[in-house]
Structure formats: C-alpha cells, structure tokens
Amino acid sequence: MEKYIINGGNKLHGEVSISGAKNAAVAILPAAVLSDEPCIIENVPNISDIDYIIKILLAIGAEVTMLNKSTLRIDPRRIHTPEVEYELAKKMRASYYFLGALLGKMGSARVSMPGGCDLGTRSIDQHLKGFNSLGAECSVEHGMIQVSAERLVGAHIYFDIVTVGATINVMLAAVKADGMTVIENAAKEPHIVDLANFLNSMGAEIMGAGTDVIKIRGVKSLHGAQYSIIPDQIEAGTFMVAAAATGGDILIKNVIPKHLESITVKLQKIGVHIEEFDDSIRVVGTGHLERANVKTMPHPGFPTDMQPQITTLLTLAEGTSIITESIYDSRFKYVDELRRMGADISVDGKVAVVEGVGRLMGAPVRATDLRAGAALIIAGLAATGTTEIEDIHHIERGYEDIEKKLRAIGADIKKVGVPERVLAQAL
C-alpha cells in the first residue's frame, strides 16, 4: 500500500502545468468507438481512471496505441462485443459512457452497474429515461444494465435534474439516431462542450452544447478525427486552493481562465490575489483568509468537485463559513479526517459549518474519495508537522503526478510504499 507523507509549512512557489481534463477524457475516449475510422486524442491525462477506460476499450476489441505520454490512437474497427463486464465497470463511474457509445454504434449495450466515488445515492434513472425516449428498451438484471433498440429515433428529452452523466450518455446514443434529438435542462459543464466539439470534429451535428438546450441532428456515420482535450478545471482549482492555503505564489499554466471563474471569484472573496492571463493564472496567497459561504451548483456555479478543497481552505480562515452541498447526498465524509488535523467542522446532512481555526496540525489520515484526498493534501501542505495520507489510489484516479507537480513548486511531499496502480496492459 502506498501513502503520501507531507511535511507541511512550505509556501508553494513557481510554475505548474495542468493536464487534460479527467471528466472530458473519460467521455471522449468511449466516444471514439462511434467512429468508423481511427481517432487520435491528445492531452489525455495519465491517471488510473484512464487506464481503466483503456482496458475496457481493449476488452471490447478496439486497438489502442500510445503515441506519446499523452496521445492515444484508438482504432474502433474491430470492436466485436457490446458488453463491459463487472470487473472492469466497477472500477469507475464513467464506465457507463460505454452504454451510450455502444448503443449508438451497435444498437445494444450491456454494461455492469458503474463504480466511482462513494458520494451517496448516484441514480442512473435519467440515463435510462433518455435511452428509452430514443426508442431503446432498458433493464437492469443481476447488476448488468442492458439497453437495446431495433432503431434509435431522435426525441425530445427533458431531464428532471441537471445531470452531467445522462447528458453525455444521451449525446453519445443520439449522434447516429434517425432525426433530431433535443435535450432540455442539459448540463453545461466545460466537458460537455468538449465532448460535443470532439463528436462534431468526427462529423456529428450537435448544437447548443454549453447551454441548457442541446440539439443533435443524427448522422449516418462518423469519421476519424484528431482532437486535443481541454485542461482540467478541477486540477487547476485544486492548485489554486493549495497556493492560497500555503500563502504561496504560483503560476498555473495550460488553463482556460473562463472555466475557473466560479473558483476565482470565491477565492478573491476569501482574500486571495488572482491575475488572469490568456492560458494561465497566477494565484498569490496574501496570508489573510476571510470567511465565506459556498454552495455547490451545476456549472457555471461553484463545482461540487472543489467542495472538499475550499472547505479545507476555510478551516484556515477567520470566522464561521457555511458550506452547502447541493449535488450529492453525502460528500462530507472527509470531515472526520480534517478533524484529526484540528479542524472544527460540524455537519448536518448537506450543510457543513466551519469554524475557522487558523491553523491545522499534521496527522495520519485516509483519503475517503478522490477530491477528499486532494483536500487532505492541501490540509497537509498548510499544516504544521507531518501528515500521512493513506488510500491514495483514490487520488491517483484523477490527478496526474500530483506529488511530483507539488514537489516542483516547493512542497515537501513524497510517496512511499508499494505501487497499487495497475497500468493498462498491452500499451
């Protein structure tokens, strides 16, 4: 088992470059199966969730070649099965994008119920409602989700809630359906737009991605394309908070500042100095942090995937902050770990009240999920003394080389123990 050991107290200083967006990549790689020709995908993050997507692609018969550290060639011409087995699907949430992609390609798909971070109930009713509207029959039996259609026909779909996953899955299934699909109350996250841009570069006709109405005119076939994934909004946000928490001064490169706006505005309110450039952002911790209230919302609101990190920062502020989690039922599990480090936080359902304590103390802690793990790294960097973080496989699902990137900007962090991460075979 591996763990991170952090000796806190160093101010982060220097430049860090952001990798490709996890939540875009985990949709774009499955989308490549819809093509009739090979696709080349650049700026793919080197994280374990991508290893699993590659394993699934290989298992269904796609050819995957690594052209360099962050570029993949995916040849979908020999895909022979619409089934993704339990052992692969259970590793991650995004395995369910193979439902939409294989349904669109082959007219049917059988994928085991997905895994992913334990953040409370994570229903897939809107995915099934969307597939159903396109003419597919859906069932869940023995843990396998089965969808199949004689013919997919464009439809008008109104989602009951804003959901990233169902918006993406319906886009994947609808690109090759007959006629027009209209998705209302669609999610607007940057990775929805990135997926639409990728599909359009393959010949799809998707309009309105990034607004709450997406229109998809079905096309007969999709051709190969070369595409570069957007930078990771949440990785960038995590480094922004790390700079603020340590009173550091860092330049975060390869970002789209517009995607970071909700995070930037909140950090400015907390007292952090931020300068935006074309594709980079400078974050300077002023040493004084003000209290703030934060409510997570679908994009363009404050992202739930930054909630544990900002909560950690607010433990270092003066005064009482209120954090409201409005996306997930149970995204405060990490609070017990922060309490070990001296944080004063009470949680009642989806609301946390943070009494700023000004400083944290190093302690042994456990990453309860991906973003919780990132928050504990930030806590360890800001704390006095040594923090040991266990269960770091959660963190490696979504952050490329996080300890190397942090070390390069002055953090005292190292990874010890035997590697858990299984690299995708046959690359």
Strand partners, 414: 5
d(CA 174, CA 35): 14
Among 127, 266, 394, 405, binds ligand EPU (CB under 6 A): 127
Residue 160 beta carbon to ligand EPU: minimum distance, rounded to whole angstroms: 8
- Verify binding: residue 387, ligand EPU, rule CB under 6 A: no
Among 72, 222, 327, 347, binds ligand EPU (CB under 6 A): 327
Residue 258 phi, psi dihedral angles, 5° rounding: -60, -40
Catalytic residue among 111, 117, 128, 381: 117
- Verify binding: residue 161, ligand EPU, rule CB under 6 A: yes
- Verify binding: residue 328, ligand EPU, rule CB under 6 A: yes
Residue 317 beta carbon to ligand EPU: minimum distance, rounded to whole angstroms: 24
d(CA 351, CA 331): 10
- Verify binding: residue 305, ligand EPU, rule CB under 6 A: yes
Q: What is the DSSP string of 257-320?
A: GGGGHHHHHHHHHHT-EEEE-SSEEEEE--S--B---EEB-STTSB-GGGHHHHHHHHHTSBSE
Among 193, 398, 399, 405, binds ligand EPU (CB under 6 A): 398
Whether 39 is catalytic: no
DSSP state of 391: -
Among 13, 90, 122, 340, binds ligand EPU (CB under 6 A): 122
Among 163, 197, 280, 368, binds ligand EPU (CB under 6 A): 163
What is the number of other CB atoms lying within 10 angstroms of the CB of residue 124?
19
Segment contacting ligand EPU by CB under 6 A, of 102-110, 143-151, 156-164, 256-264: 156-164
- Verify binding: residue 241, ligand EPU, rule CB under 6 A: no
Residue 287 beta carbon to ligand EPU: minimum distance, rounded to whole angstroms: 29
Print burial letters for 190-228: b (CB count within 10 Å at least 16), e (below 16): bbbbbbbbbbbebbbebebbbeeebbbebbeebebbebb
Closer residue to ligand EPU in complex, CB, 130/154: 130
- In 3D space, the residue among 84, 97, 80 whose CA is nearest the CA of residue 172 turns out to be 97
d(CA 417, CA 325): 34
From residue 339 to residue 378, what is the string marking binding to ligand EPU with x (rule CB under 6 A)? Answer: -------------------------------xx-------
Question: Which two structure tokens, joined as six digits, stand for 356?
Answer: 């700023």
Report the catalytic residues: 117
